[in-house]
Amino acid sequence: MQRHSGSGSDFVEVTAQTPGSAKPDPILIADHITRTFGGLTAVNVAHLEIQRGSITALIGPNGAGKTTFFNLLTGYDSPNSGSWSFNEIALNGIPSHKVARLGMVRTFQLTKALYRLTVLENMALGARGQKGESLFTSLFPWLWRAQEKEITEKALSILTNFKLIEKKDDFAAALSGGQRKLLEMARALMVEPEMVMLDEPMAGVNPALKQSLLEHIKDLRNEGKTVLFVEHDMDMVREISDWVVVMAQGEVIAEGTPTSVMKNEQVIEAYLGAHHDVDLSAEGKK
Amino acid sequence: MDFLFITQQTLSATIGVNTIIFALAAIGLNMHFGYTGLLNFGQAGFLAIGAYSVAVPVISFGLPLWMAFLIGIFNSVIFALLLGVPTLRLRADYLAIVTIAAAEIVRQIARSATFNSTLGGSDGITGKFGADFFALNPFKSGIDTPILRFNANDLWVVITGWSLVAFIVFIMWVMVNSPWGRLMRAIREDEDAVRSLGKNVYLYKMQSLIIGGVIGTCGGFVYALSRQSVQPDNYGTALTFFAYTVLILGGAARVFSPVIGAMIFWFLIVFIEQVLRQGVSNNLIPDWLIGANQVSQIRFMLMGLGLMLLMIYRPQGIFGDRKELALDAKA
């Protein structure tokens, strides 16, 4: 397979707009992933590839299995069957914290800011390979102080970028809902991920903050990171995503560019029902 | 009323052996509950293991005391692993259930007739197992001043005990102010979020359980040595909940709060008891209201009343930050 070069969205032209299509340079590949809860099949994804360095949106009506799929990919839940790999490393049975260490870091639909830690502490927690986090080295502050200083500087620079710098010494609980979303994303960046998985980054965010969140997501792509996000806000999907994957009833039913996907019959059907433009009243039947 | 006697008894208790024991038990719980959010309802089990590990090897197997201390710490680590391995991957409530049951299992095994010859059954073990420790006592006589009174052995226990508390508090202070401590507090807030940042939450919760448990076991060492005897029924669930009382009195997740909490706890208990006793024996409190043999129950009632008032007017404890506590409701 030819290695894809160039940034972001070039791959769109060479990729088939069909469910499960092959990408020139996939960072994440999932095969035959199923997850059932009792009799309900929540996820049943035959094949999915996510292009490296792209912004991919995962959309679908409520109950389509998007968040469950996210949980499966990131090790927060385990599938009944299937295999998936990140950077060609198989992730079956890998616990969630190791998935994060491999470079795939997620955020949560219900924001998980660490409330009784300050904003700066939230950030510092994200840094990898901290000597002071080991039980024995923690007892000898001179062994980790220098590293802690570097981490703080890095955290402060990201916070400045996310306009949270004035809040650095406040408890995370004191932030607004939108600011918590920003903090969660900023904290994920402290892990230096290759791929960022955002679960509904725009939910409950006011329009002013929304714009700045969008810019941050675009910046991630410009830095060469891959973004996969679940979202209901179609304006956002249209504005920033290179590629859209549509799930319904646990399956991938369509893939493609935002414009083509939104015209797709099956997608409209999944969202609005098969007979949404048919008049079902007695008069209509005549 | 003999106010001088009341003062002497109260102050001696405030810095006495029991305060040290409860401070150590609560420092361990502070690690578990205050910093990591682990609901350990079996702290009495860790103290029991400490107490029996000091008594049994010396009395039943004739080992030296220093070896008994090492055995105690080893047993405590094993006990923590037994509790933690099956439960720490599960939701927080499972640990609470397992720990409360495990502590009772420890007590029931200790008092069972089967192990009567080594563990002493329901009578426990009484003997000179602390002889090695008291041989080091430099004090030939105790102190007897109007405000403090300890006999020679108690004085030695109090001085070594407070040194141990100071050492442990210092270590705790260093640890909770390190990135390790930050990680622990983060786990208390939301462990899934911590996992998403690439941290092995299970490993850290296990470390917390072991460290807090070993500190509790040190409390068990002091308990056994100070009395030169081990009684299984001293290590019931009440001990665990008194330790929680001490922790909440001081305010959870503050390094010094278990120490101050334990001092206040014993100050109040002994003060109320002495005042009531003096009142009853001097006929200041009429016999129909409180009899002489009801005093020890009534002191706990008043203590409970005091705690309720504390929870209503100062829910954060002595050292806690009310604003920080209120954040929980927002979450």
Residue A282, domain member (yes or no):
no
Distance from CA of B191 to the nearest CA of A (A): 9
**Cβ neighbourhood burial of A205 (10 Å; 0-12, 13-18, 19+):** buried
Residue B330, domain member (yes or no):
no
Residues of B in contact with A116 (CB under 8 A): 185, 188-189, 324, 327-328
Range A126-132, long-range pairs (CB < 8 A, 24+ positions) = A126/A155, A126/A187, A126/A188, A126/A189, A126/A190, A126/A191, A126/B197, A127/A151, A127/A154, A127/A155, A127/A190, A127/A191, A128/A101, A128/A191, A128/A192, A128/B198, A130/B179, A131/B179, A132/B178, A132/B179, A132/B180
**Residue A247: beta bridge partners?**
A252
- For residue B288, what are the domain limits? 3-325
Q: Do A173 and B200 touch (CB under 8 A)?
A: no
Report the pLDDT value the prediction gives residue B93, as an integer from 0 to 100: 86
Cα(A165)–Cα(A248) distance, integer angstroms = 40
Are A122 and A255 within one domain? Answer: no
For the segment A126-149, what is each residue's pLDDT rounded down to a tens digit? 999 999 999 999 999 999 999 999
Are A197 and A82 within one domain? Answer: yes
Q: Which one of A128, A148, A174 terminates a domain?
A: A174
- Per-residue tokens: B68: 């008994």
Q: Do A115 and B328 touch (CB under 8 A)?
A: yes
Residue B329 sits at the chain A interface (C-beta within 8 Å):
no
Alpha carbon B125 to chain centroid, angstroms? 20
Residue B300, domain member (yes or no):
yes
Distance from CA of A117 to the nearest CA of B (A): 7
Taking a C-beta distance cutoff of 8 angstroms, is the pair A46, A232 a contact? no
Cα(B30)–Cα(B303) distance, integer angstroms = 21
Angle made by CA atoms B206, B212, B214, in degrees to the nearest 5: 100
A15-19, A194-198, A258-262, B260-264: segment of lowest average pLDDT: A15-19
Residue A106 sits at the chain B interface (C-beta within 8 Å):
yes
The CATH number given to whatever domain includes residue B233 is 1.10.3470
Per-residue pLDDT band for A275 (boundaries 50, 70, 90) equals low
Residue from B182, B185, B206 whose CB has the most chain A CBs within 10 Å, to mutate: B182
- Per-residue tokens: B272: 């109320």
CB atoms within 10 A of CB A95: 16
pLDDT greater than 70 at residue A6 = no
Distance from CA of B121 to the nearest CA of A (A): 38
**Cβ neighbourhood burial of B288 (10 Å; 0-12, 13-18, 19+):** exposed
CB atoms within 10 A of CB A140: 13
Residue A181, domain member (yes or no):
no
Residue A185, domain member (yes or no):
no
Report the pLDDT value the prediction gives residue B329, as an integer from 0 to 100: 46
Residue A280, domain member (yes or no):
no
What percentage of chain A has pLDDT greater than the value 90?
64
Nearest to A52 by CA among A229, A228, A259: A228
Are A100 and A124 within one domain? Answer: no
A133: left (phi over 0), alpha (psi -120 to 50) or beta: alpha
Are A219 and A233 within one domain? Answer: yes
β strands within chain B, DSSP E: 125-126, 143-144, 149-150, 229-230
**Residue A90: beta bridge partners?**
A85
What is the dihedral sign for C-alpha B14, B15, B21, B23?
positive
Report the pLDDT value the prediction gives residue B275, as an integer from 0 to 100: 93
Nearest to B43 by CA among B61, B59, B55, B27: B27
Cα radius of gyration rounded to whole Å, chain A:
21
Report the pLDDT value the prediction gives residue A282, as an integer from 0 to 100: 62
pLDDT greater than 70 at residue A283 = no
Residue A132, domain member (yes or no):
yes
CB atoms within 10 A of CB A126: 28
Per-residue pLDDT band for A84 (boundaries 50, 70, 90) equals very high
Are A95 and A154 within one domain? Answer: no
Q: How many domains does chain B have?
A: 1
Cα(A6)–Cα(A107) distance, integer angstroms = 27
Helix (H) or strand (E) holding A198: strand A195-199
Residue A281, domain member (yes or no):
no
Are A103 and A125 within one domain? Answer: no
Residue B331 sits at the chain A interface (C-beta within 8 Å):
yes
Report the pLDDT value the prediction gives residue B271, as an integer from 0 to 100: 94
Distance from CA of A33 to the nearest CA of B (A): 21
Q: Side-chain half-sphere of B250: how many Cα atoms within 13 Å? A: 27
Per-residue pLDDT band for A5 (boundaries 50, 70, 90) equals very low
Are A107 and A136 within one domain? Answer: no
Angle made by CA atoms A179, A181, A187, in degrees to the nearest 5: 100
- Per-residue tokens: B285: 């409190």
Report the pLDDT value the prediction gives residue A280, as an integer from 0 to 100: 63
Q: How many domains does chain A have?
A: 2
pLDDT greater than 80 at residue A273 = no
- Per-residue tokens: A57: 């949106």
Residue A66, domain member (yes or no):
yes
Task: Measure the CA dihedral B185/B190/B192/B194, to 10°.
Answer: -30
Are A93 and A137 within one domain? Answer: no
The CATH number given to whatever domain includes residue A72 is 3.40.50.300
Nearest to A155 by CA among B158, B182, B60, B185: B182
Are A131 and A245 within one domain? Answer: no
Look at strands A195-199 and A104-106 and give their pairing.
parallel
For the segment B63-107, what is each residue's pLDDT rounded down to a tens digit? 999 999 999 999 999 999 999 999 998 888 899 999 999 999 999
Q: Which residues of B88-108 are buried (b: 16+ CB within 10 A; e: fewer)?
A: beeeeeebbebbbebbbebbe
SS3 content of chain A, % helix, strand, coil (to 5): 40, 20, 35
SS3 content of chain B, % helix, strand, coil (to 5): 75, 0, 20
**Residue of B179, B186, B197 with shortest CB distance to A144:** B179
Residue from B197, B209, B316, B323 whose CB has the most chain A CBs within 10 Å, to mutate: B197
Taking a C-beta distance cutoff of 8 angstroms, is the pair B178, B186 a contact? no
Report the pLDDT value the prediction gives residue A286, as an integer from 0 to 100: 44
CB atoms within 10 A of CB A167: 20
Residue B31 sits at the chain A interface (C-beta within 8 Å):
no
Taking a C-beta distance cutoff of 8 angstroms, is the pair A72, A45 a contact? no
ipTM over 0.95: no
The DSSP call for residue B285 is S
- For residue A155, what are the domain limits? 118-174
- Residue ranges in chain B whose pLDDT is less than 50: 329-331
pTM of the model: 0.91
Are A168 and A205 within one domain? Answer: no
Residue B105, domain member (yes or no):
yes
Residue A279, domain member (yes or no):
no
Are A65 and A205 within one domain? Answer: yes
Residue B68, domain member (yes or no):
yes
